[in-house]
């Protein structure tokens, strides 16, 4: 290499030009990176802004980040559980936790049993009733929500949280908790649902209230949930994992909620290994359903804005507080968390 060649090489790194490292750094600092074509060296902020400008949903981006992050965290937790032998004390702790959760669930049961749901589904075919949401539905929903809050308050560590954190958790997870208790009542073949409150609706009736997007998604997800064939023990743990997600909203003590959440995940892993030994696919399948449940919640919250559903909300103050998107919800739900005792 000659002297001139060396100077030319040095000049490449000392003279700023478009696309050089120093120029790119300045653009990143000013958040003015050009994002077009196949250019890949732009910063994440500018790529995100470009996506939004082109019409991508902010909610979709958030869901994607959540999905990737959750799957990664759970995969790490699963690998840790493989290499770490659970000692006897931990096993006993998980067993005791599961017994407590099942007892609390039975003290605050769903409003219909799977057997009753099956009977309702079979009876609907002959009745062919044209049903609509009524005051009765609002009252039964209110009763279910109070049972749900009572269950939440019996989860170990829940009552020690600040009331605002308790309210945030029950508000953020109530729909997923409800769906996990209701999915077995969906029947795609008959296109009907026997809800936990004992009411039976045709798919077309549900569309009138909640719209096509939510209705189709809920039927499809119910089919996929049934394919898991989970036991009551596994299901109650999945519900409680949903209840304790620490990333739904701002929390006063996020670490305490995070600790609760991963305790439930560890208990779920232990129970899956005990009930389905050697099945390496079941936990990833459960995680994928947790991600889908979060997506269903987003769809449901949009569906709850329909005019017909707003009429039902007027008859159920507690349900209204659960789906209210305004910031004042925390105080309203907080009062109900206080009023519903965990010892009933």
Beta strand pairing status for 200-202 and 192-194? Answer: antiparallel
Same domain? For 21 and 136 the reply is: no
Same domain? For 85 and 147 the reply is: yes
Same domain? For 211 and 86 the reply is: yes
Same domain? For 279 and 208 the reply is: yes
Comparing CA positions, the residue from 262, 277, 276, 177 lying closest to residue 230 is 276
Q: What is the pLDDT of residues 121-163, one digit of tens each?
A: 444 444 444 445 555 566 777 788 888 899 999 999 999 999 9
CA distances from residue 92 to 84, 104, 156, 231 in whole angstroms, order as listed: 16, 18, 15, 20
Measure the CA–CA gap between 265 and 94, rounded to whole angstroms: 10
Same domain? For 111 and 176 the reply is: yes
Measure the CA–CA gap between 86 and 326, rounded to whole angstroms: 44
* pLDDT score at 323: 67
pTM of the model: 0.65
Comparing CA positions, the residue from 235, 113, 245 lying closest to residue 171 is 245
Same domain? For 14 and 157 the reply is: no
Same domain? For 85 and 48 the reply is: no
108 found inside a domain: yes
* pLDDT score at 56: 58
Same domain? For 44 and 75 the reply is: no
64 found inside a domain: no
Same domain? For 158 and 202 the reply is: yes
Please give the full DSSP string across 160-172, using - where no structure is assigned: TS-HHHHHHHHHH
Q: What is the pLDDT of residues 78-99, one digit of tens each?
A: 555 554 555 777 777 888 888 8
CATH number at residue 274: 1.10.565.10
Q: Which domain holds residue 34?
A: 3-53
* pLDDT score at 131: 41
164 found inside a domain: yes
**C-alpha angle 256/262/263, rounded to 5°?**
90
Same domain? For 176 and 319 the reply is: yes
Residue 80 CB coordination number (10 Å): 11
Give the strand order in the sheet containing 186-187: 186-187, 192-194, 200-202
Measure the CA–CA gap between 27 and 33, rounded to whole angstroms: 5
CA distances from residue 245 to 80, 151, 196, 239 in whole angstroms, order as listed: 20, 16, 24, 10
Measure the CA–CA gap between 269 and 76, rounded to whole angstroms: 12
**C-alpha angle 308/311/316, rounded to 5°?**
130
Please give the full DSSP string across 162-223, using - where no structure is assigned: -HHHHHHHHHHHHHHHHHHHHGGGEETTTTEEE-TTS-EEEHHHHHHHH-HHHHHHHHHHHH
Same domain? For 46 and 92 the reply is: no
118 found inside a domain: yes
Q: How many domains does the chain have?
A: 2
Same domain? For 49 and 79 the reply is: no
60 found inside a domain: no
Show the low-confidence residues of the chain (pLDDT under 70): 1-32, 34-45, 47-86, 108-138, 306-317, 319, 323-344
134 found inside a domain: yes
250 found inside a domain: yes
CA 246 to chain centre: 11
**Helices first, then strands: H and E counts in the chain:** 16, 3
58 found inside a domain: no
- Please name the residues in contact with 9: beta carbons below 8 A apart, sequence gap of 6 or more: none
């Amino acid at each position: 290499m000659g002297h001139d060649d060396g100077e030319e090489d040095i000049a490449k790194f000392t003279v700023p030009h478009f696309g050089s490292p120093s120029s790119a750094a300045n653009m990143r600092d000013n958040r003015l990176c050009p994002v077009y074509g196949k250019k890949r060296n732009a910063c994440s902020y500018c790529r995100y802004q470009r996506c939004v400008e082109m019409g991508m949903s902010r909610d979709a981006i958030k869901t994607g980040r959540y999905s990737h992050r959750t799957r990664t965290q759970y995969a790490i937790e699963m690998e840790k559980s493989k290499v770490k032998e659970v000692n006897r004390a931990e096993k006993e702790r998980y067993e005791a936790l599961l017994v407590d959760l099942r007892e609390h669930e039975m003290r605050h049961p769903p409003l219909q049993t799977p057997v009753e749901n099956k009977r309702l589904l079979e009876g609907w075919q002959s009745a062919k009733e044209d049903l609509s949401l009524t005051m009765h539905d609002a009252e039964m929903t209110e009763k279910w929500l109070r049972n749900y809050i009572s269950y939440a308050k019996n989860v170990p560590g829940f009552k020690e949280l600040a009331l605002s954190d308790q309210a945030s958790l029950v508000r953020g997870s109530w729909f997923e908790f409800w769906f996990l208790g209701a999915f077995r009542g969906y029947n795609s073949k008959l296109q009907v649902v026997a809800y936990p409150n004992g009411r039976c609706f045709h798919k077309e009736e549900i569309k009138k209230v909640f719209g096509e997007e939510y209705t189709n998604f809920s039927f499809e997800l119910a089919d996929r949930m049934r394919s898991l064939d989970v036991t009551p023990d596994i299901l109650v743990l999945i519900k409680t994992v949903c209840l304790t997600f620490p990333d739904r909203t701002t929390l006063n003590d996020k670490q305490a909620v995070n600790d609760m959440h991963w305790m439930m995940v560890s208990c779920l892993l232990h129970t899956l290994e005990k009930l389905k030994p050697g099945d390496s696919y079941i936990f990833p399948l459960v995680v994928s359903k947790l991600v889908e449940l979060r997506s269903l919640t987003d769809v449901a919250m949009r569906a709850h804005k329909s005019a017909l559903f707003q009429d039902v909300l007027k008859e159920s103050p507690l349900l209204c507080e659960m789906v209210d998107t305004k910031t004042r919800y925390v105080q309203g739900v907080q009062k109900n968390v206080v009023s519903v005792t965990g010892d009933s």
